[in-house]
With several copies, the nearest count.
Chain A
Amino acid sequence: MFDKVLIANRGEVALRIHRACREMGIKTVAVHSTADSDAMHVRLADQAVCIGPPPARDSYLNKAAVLSAATITNADAVHPGYGFLSENADFADMVAEHHMTFIGPEPEHIRRMGDKIAAREAAKEAGLPVVPGSEGALQDEGEALAMADEIGYPVLLKAASGGGGKGMKVVRGPNELASAYRTTRSEAEAAFGNPALYLEKYLEAPRHIEIQVMADNYGNVIHLGERDCSLQRKHQKVVEEGPSPALNADQRAAIGDLAREAAASLGYSSLGTMEFLYEDGKFYFIEMNTRLQVEHPVTEMISGVDLVREQIRLAAGAPLEYGQESVNLCGHAIECRINAENPHTFAPSPGRVTEYHAPGGLGVRVDSALYSGYRIPPTYDSMIAKLIVHGNGRNECLMRLRRALEEFVVEGVQTTIPLHMDLLTAPDFVNGVYDIHWLEKYVEAAQA
């Protein structure tokens, strides 16, 4: 096992990783920008290294700085968290070249899954259903038109190197295709330096359902059920839950086994998430995340598995300690992402947190690096806390969520806690009847 892990991240996930390491008896090195000197994980870590000024490109995205920090502190592994360098295959290579362990999969898997077209091909080969569409990058407008005729409108044009909802366009008929093709292509070029596009069937009202898998270096893979992350705003997940209100046990087992077999046939190791769209009883693979995810606590609460601990163990070459038959999903969990934003306009609200009081008691978990007096820097992501509740059933879980939100105090900045409170009064959410467009419409209606 590792002696010392460098945490190449900030905020709640840095604290999450610190906690896992601390509980495993592993020393931690925090790296931080000058804006984060007072961050909680910096204070708790065994060692801390300032790696640069506030802009992420000069600190948290600065591969040389992170690696130098790992070198001078004699860390033997680097945990990248999520975001920043977590899906940077070159960084993973560099970590290995420096004789340290990157806590994640092999760089080749990161690289392959980071390219949307390659990922889709890999998924198809591995037996996963994909959204019908072009087999590779489109040659030209003509191919796009022929393809769209074949699979039927509406279709979606997507940048091969896109992500975060950028470089996408819905085309509802052949008359729109030519101009959409040209626009998306130049957007893709501008945003990602790669104009390659592909085209696929556009699903009208799918859910976003993802399967958590966990694989060791010896070919053993298990899945830990699904998370329903359909509640999104501007392609950012806002609320996640598991199990999905839309699946029954047979569907869960079927897609879980598909994901598990796919990971095995890819030769994948470490944690990973297969993301699917789900519509009319069918799953369509969209991408695979080769890292820890923000919403991982949902799975932890229903499976009893500490995913970060397992991720570290797997990276150290430990085998999975149990098989699929020992995975026992129990109860229901919901996670709310709480952002420092105006709950109506979503304008960021950085600044000093004058009071912070997290809810407690049975079935309530808070993952947050906030504390009273902490100043939320304006430089980074606005997510400041994750509230995760667990209950025996979904209804118990919703009731618990309400009482926990009522107890949550964050003063001095605006937060999205009121949005989550409002959601609990929305019959569609309470009934579990929502798709990936639902929240966007709900928010628009509330703003109108």
Chain B
Amino acid sequence: MAEESVNRELVRELATLLDETEIHEIEYATEALRVRVVRHQAVQHVAAAPQPAQAPAAQPAAPETAGAQALGSDSDLADHPGAVTSPMVGVAYHSPEPGAPPFVSPGDQVKEGQTLMLIEAMKTFNPIPAPRDGTVSRVVAGDSAPVEYGEPLVILE
């Protein structure tokens, strides 16, 4: 590795793993590098915020979403580098009108500016353009599904 610079990604990744696995310490060594990350017990910084005791109601809860029920699914994909996220709260539509073919499907090549979906908010339909050229690897938001601000719609790679 580069002697002078820290491999930040590696540290962040280990930190994430620490969280995910609820482990307290990870030591990671290759021939060239040894990294150890530790999180001391207990005081999770958000731990005092009460968790609702009620079971989630009608709508499907997002996996791994503690606390209040999140709207859509796969909200952890919001951090995916290829995620195109919703710029508004509303309802996502895959096609320009009912029965029409979808704007995009997995595997499609798209150009920057090409419409990926519509988001209906306040009775207006807002096209969501592709932010760059790419390939649709996954359509995340369901057709006619409610989406919140920042929720991933499509993964573009």
Residues of A within 8 A of B (CB): 27, 30, 34, 38, 40, 42-53, 59, 64-65, 67-69, 72-73, 352, 354-357, 359, 371-375, 405-409, 411-412, 421
Q: Which residue of B lies closest to A64 (CB)?
A: B122
With a cutoff of 8 Å between Cβ atoms, the chain B residues found around residue A46 in the complex are 52, 54, 57, 68-69
Tell me if B48 counts as interface (CB < 8 A to partner A): yes
Residues of B within 8 A of A (CB): 41-54, 57, 59, 66-71, 88-91, 121-122, 146-151
- Which of B43, B50, B90, B150 is A43 in contact with, Cβ under 8 Å? B50
A407 contacts B89, CB within 8 Å? Answer: no
With a cutoff of 8 Å between Cβ atoms, the chain A residues found around residue B59 in the complex are 47
Q: Which residue of A lies closest to B91 (CB)?
A: A72
Majority-rule SS of B interface residues: loop
A45 to B65: give the CA distance in the assembly, Å.
13
With a cutoff of 8 Å between Cβ atoms, the chain B residues found around residue A69 in the complex are 89, 148
CB distance from B45 to the nearest CB of A (A): 3
B149 contacts A34, CB within 8 Å? Answer: yes
B150 contacts A34, CB within 8 Å? Answer: yes
Q: Which residue of A lies closest to B71 (CB)?
A: A49
Which of B45, B50, B54 gathers the greatest number of chain A CB atoms within 10 Å? Answer: B50
Majority-rule SS of A interface residues: mixed
B50 contacts A409, CB within 8 Å? Answer: yes
A372 contacts B43, CB within 8 Å? Answer: yes
CB distance from A398 to the nearest CB of B (A): 15
CB distance from B44 to the nearest CB of A (A): 7
With a cutoff of 8 Å between Cβ atoms, the chain A residues found around residue B53 in the complex are 405-406, 421
A375 to B66: give the CA distance in the assembly, Å.
18
B50 contacts A408, CB within 8 Å? Answer: yes
Which of B45, B49, B67, B150 gathers the greatest number of chain A CB atoms within 10 Å? Answer: B49
- What are 21 A-B contacts with C-beta separation under 8 Å? A27-B57, A34-B150, A38-B46, A44-B50, A46-B69, A48-B70, A49-B71, A49-B89, A49-B148, A50-B151, A51-B89, A51-B149, A52-B89, A64-B121, A68-B122, A72-B146, A371-B48, A373-B46, A375-B45, A406-B50, A421-B53
A80 to B10: give the CA distance in the assembly, Å.
45
CB distance from B123 to the nearest CB of A (A): 9
Q: Which residue of B lies closest to A354 (CB)?
A: B42
A52 contacts B149, CB within 8 Å? Answer: yes
B52 contacts A406, CB within 8 Å? Answer: yes
A372 to B49: give the CA distance in the assembly, Å.
8
With a cutoff of 8 Å between Cβ atoms, the chain A residues found around residue B122 in the complex are 64, 67-68
With a cutoff of 8 Å between Cβ atoms, the chain B residues found around residue A59 in the complex are 149
A68 contacts B48, CB within 8 Å? Answer: no
With a cutoff of 8 Å between Cβ atoms, the chain A residues found around residue B148 in the complex are 49-51, 69
With a cutoff of 8 Å between Cβ atoms, the chain A residues found around residue B45 in the complex are 352, 372-375
B47 contacts A65, CB within 8 Å? Answer: no
